[in-house]
């Protein structure tokens, strides 16, 4: 972060348990107010307080803020990322969830992290975002961003689906599988990892394409440059097939739909602990080396 960078308005997004909110947020608001910083609460945060505070929709919070302070787990962080990246505002994530790959500051580190951030001393990690586009009958009917992954998957009662993968208009292969994941390096530790994909450092300019339970055991994860355009076509019966963004939003697909995935123009500015290297976080979260 640039030295001397100052913030006059900070938005607070959260979804922790109610008792955590009442313990953390009121003193936090007083701390920020004492420093002349305007705070904007989202509706979830305001609803967990007992002082009658009023919240705003998250999109409004992002519009009014120069920095987003996220109190919660990775799910809250992913929702905030889709708001922050196009507005080019940084996120300071505080872990109040369980695993917390993205929310790497602890509650005990909240105030030191804020002091460093307000003083312009924080370290910012630039994270690539995915842009997904659904093409139907030759026209783009939906464009969305995701930080972790874009997933085509079958519904609960659907059969194995058939997908065709093209990269930069070149045919790659056809899959028969439960689905297909396109993940960013940030998302390599999420659904893709559970499906057998590799862990990729966030700074690597790559996307990971991981089949979910493929019919052919030779169908393995594929790593490609993130400047490629990835195109996925539905083949055969596509009943109850969905596109899912960061595991949070599902969009039903039709048999003739085409999904195009590419690198988004904007990157996410994610504030990171300067003394916690990426591999320290991996060892801690994945319990590497423990019996």
Q: What residues are labeled active site?
A: 74
Q: Are strands 230-235 and 258-272 parallel, antiparallel or unpaired?
A: antiparallel
Q: Are strands 67-72 and 91-95 parallel, antiparallel or unpaired?
A: parallel
112: part of which helix (H) or strand (E)?
helix 110-118
* DSSP, residue by residue, 132-149: EEEEETTEEEEEEEESSE
- Take residue 80 and report the two structure tokens written for it: 């905030």
Query: Does residue 100 sit in helix, strand or coil?
Result: coil
Question: CA nearest 179: which of 193, 200, 197, 195?
Answer: 195
3-state class (DSSP) for residue 98: coil
Cross-strand pairs, 232: 165, 259
H or E, element range at 113: helix 110-118
Task: Give the C-alpha separation, 103 to 82, whole Å.
Answer: 15
Give the distance from CA 84 to its chain's centroid. 11
Q: For the chain, how big is the Rg over CA atoms in Å?
A: 20
CB atoms within 10 A of CB 194: 11
- Beta strand 179-183 with 67-72 is unpaired
């Amino acid at each position: 972060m640039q030295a001397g960078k100052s913030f006059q308005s900070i938005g607070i997004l959260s979804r922790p348990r109610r008792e955590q909110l009442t313990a953390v947020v009121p003193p936090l608001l007083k701390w920020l107010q004492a420093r002349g910083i305007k705070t904007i609460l989202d509706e979830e945060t305001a609803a967990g307080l007992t002082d009658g505070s009023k919240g705003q929709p998250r999109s409004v919070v992002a519009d009014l803020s120069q920095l987003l302070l996220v109190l919660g787990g990775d799910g809250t962080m992913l929702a905030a990322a889709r708001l922050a990246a196009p507005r080019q505002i940084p996120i300071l994530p505080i872990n109040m969830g369980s695993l917390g790959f993205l929310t790497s500051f602890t509650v005990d580190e909240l105030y030191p992290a804020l002091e460093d951030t307000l003083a312009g001393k924080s370290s910012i990690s630039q994270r690539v975002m995915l842009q997904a586009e659904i093409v139907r009958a030759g026209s783009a009917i939906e464009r969305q961003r995701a930080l972790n992954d874009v997933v085509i998957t079958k519904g609960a009662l659907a059969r194995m689906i058939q997908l065709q993968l093209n990269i930069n208009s070149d045919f790659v292969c056809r899959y028969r599988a439960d689905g297909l994941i396109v993940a960013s390096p940030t998302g390599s530790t999420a659904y893709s990892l559970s499906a057998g994909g590799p862990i990729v450092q966030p700074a690597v300019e790559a996307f990971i394409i991981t089949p979910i339970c493929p019919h052919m055991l030779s169908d393995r994860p594929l790593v490609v440059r993130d400047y490629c355009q990835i195109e996925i076509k539905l083949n055969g019966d596509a009943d109850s097939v969905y596109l899912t963004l960061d595991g949070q939003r599902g969009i039903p697909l039709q048999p003739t739909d085409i999904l195009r995935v590419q690198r988004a123009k904007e990157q996410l500015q994610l504030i990171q602990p300067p003394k916690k290297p990426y591999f320290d976080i991996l060892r801690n979260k994945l319990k590497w080396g423990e019996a």
